[in-house]
Structure 1
Amino acid sequence: MKTEHHPYEPFIPENLEILIVGSFPGKEQTQSTELLNNWFYGAPRNQFWKIIESVFEKELKTREAKQQLFYSLNIGLADVILKAKRTANTNLDQNLDIVEWNDKALKIILLQYPNVCVLCTSKFVEKHFRKLFPYFKNIRSLPSPSPRYATMSLKEKVEAYKKMLAIFDHL
């Protein structure tokens, strides 16, 4: 098993209010140079950007469009894992052997923005984030944008994200 490195730095706007934390990029993003121009949640089947497009009623076809939207909304992105090995040739979190947590970068973000609301993209992420930062309490969990999380339809995920993001006045 080859160790894969996270290809993206955390995305942190100047006035960060919400930090969406995921697990680790899909194998397509860490194993191919063709997709390195892509960005967080860029695995072909991941529904994250489809959900965000529906929530904000915006087309987000480029990395720049995604960054511009999140910058304007003070939403940041980071992942909880920095390096991992895959125990199977899938994007499932359960098949990740964690080599190194992304705790150093996350700690810097939490120290710089102590009032940030952390939204985890799955219970897996929330569990590990809470282990890394047991003192941090402003954490909530979003439905997983993975298409394998089939207990909710895409439409239900969009509604759940809308409801969670509506907590914030400016959204």
Structure 2
Amino acid sequence: MLETHPFGSFVPPKARYLVLGSFTTKEAFDAKKKAAYVWFYSNGRNQFWPILESLYKTPLKTRLAMQQLFSKLDMALADIIYQCERKKNSNLDINLTNIVYAIDDITSILETNTIVTIFFTSRNVEDKFRRIFKGLISRYPNIKLVTLPSPSPRFTMKLAKKIKRYQSLLPSLSKS
């Protein structure tokens, strides 16, 4: 079954940073689990929001709280995949097929904002971006490309170390 990204992108006014992931998990499409899946990375096992809660010392339990933090940071959020199908009903990126990339959406974000850094949520996302979006990289050569440690629980780095790496890479609230 073809799935279309349920969240689109989030772009606050005057965004300077962009966080790119791959595609939302199947839980975002499951009627029974949808209420608990409030926004990007809301799968209970994903460590993205717990990392940011620790880093920015703020609770991030609601979509509004998450969006407010990203607005304060001048940070946009999107996924590189607009539509896809899943093999084996799996969340793993390697099981995503018939992929349609969000080229228009990401192009629009870069055209209408002064993005200085793109943060990737994994090496896999960075690799796909470099391959699929190479025209944008050529068009915007001054944008810094930075890969964050994957927030996936499958990535074996300890949470405390992930928090430390995110802290060294992401903007602080005072700098944004």
Matches for 1:74-93 after TM superposition, within 5 Å = 74-93=74-93
Query: What is the letter of the counterpart of residue 156 of structure 1?
Result: K
Q: In the alignment, what sits opposite 2:53?
A: 53
Shift of 1:43: 1.4
SS in 1 for 2:89: coil
Once the 2 structures are TM-superposed, how far is the Cα of residue 29 of structure 1 from its aligned partner? 0.6
Q: Is the 8 A contact 2:21 2:79 kept in 1?
A: yes
SS of the residue 2:43 aligns to:
coil
State how 1:10-25 maps to structure 2 within 5 Å: 10-25=9-24
Contact 2:73 2:171 in 1 (8 A): no
Q: What residue identity is the alignment partner of 1:144?
A: S
Query: Is residue 121–residue 148 contact of structure 2 (8 Å, CA) maintained in 1?
Result: yes
Cα gap change, 1:115/1:38 in structure 2, threshold over 3 Å: closer, same or farther?
closer
Give the structure 2 partner of residue 32 of structure 1: 31
Structure 1: runs of 5 or more not aligned? none
1:163 pairs with one of 162, 165, 168: 168
Task: Please report how far the alpha carbon of residue 165 of structure 1 lies from its aligned counterpart in structure 2 after TM superposition.
Answer: 1.1
What's the CA shift for 1:162?
A: 0.3
Query: Aligned partner of 2:10: which letter?
Result: F
**Aligned equivalents of 1:65 and 1:120: distance in 2?**
21
Identity of aligned residues (%): 38
Q: Is 35-44 or 84-93 further displaced after alignment?
A: 35-44
Structure 2 equivalent of residue 147 of structure 1: 153
1:49-128 alignment, distance < 5 Å:
49-128=49-128
- Offset of residue 90 of structure 1: 2.3
Alignment check: 8 A CA contact 2:86 2:95 kept = yes
8 A Cα contact 1:81 1:98, kept in partner = no
Secondary structure at the aligned position of 1:88 is classed as helix
TM-superposition CA deviations, 1:47-101 (whole Å, max 9, x none): 1000010110111111111111111110110000011111122211111114210
Cα distance in structure 2, aligned partners of 1:49 and 1:18: 17
Q: Secondary structure at the match of 1:19?
A: strand
8 Å CA contact 2:15, 2:115 repeated in 1: no
Query: C-alpha root-mean-square deviation of aligned residues, in Å?
Result: 1.9
3-state DSSP class of the match of 1:66?
helix
Stretches (4+) displaced over 2 A: 30-34, 113-116, 166-169
User: Normalising by structure 1, what TM-score?
Assistant: 0.91
Counterpart residue identity of residue 87, structure 2: T
- Structure 1 SS opposite 2:94: helix
Q: State the shift of 1:132 in Å.
A: 2.7
CA positional deviation for 1:115:
3.5
Unaligned runs of 5+ in 2: none
Whether the 8 Å CA contact 1:16–1:116 is kept in 2: the answer is no
Q: Residue type matched to 2:155 in 1?
A: Y
Letter in 1 for 2:25: G
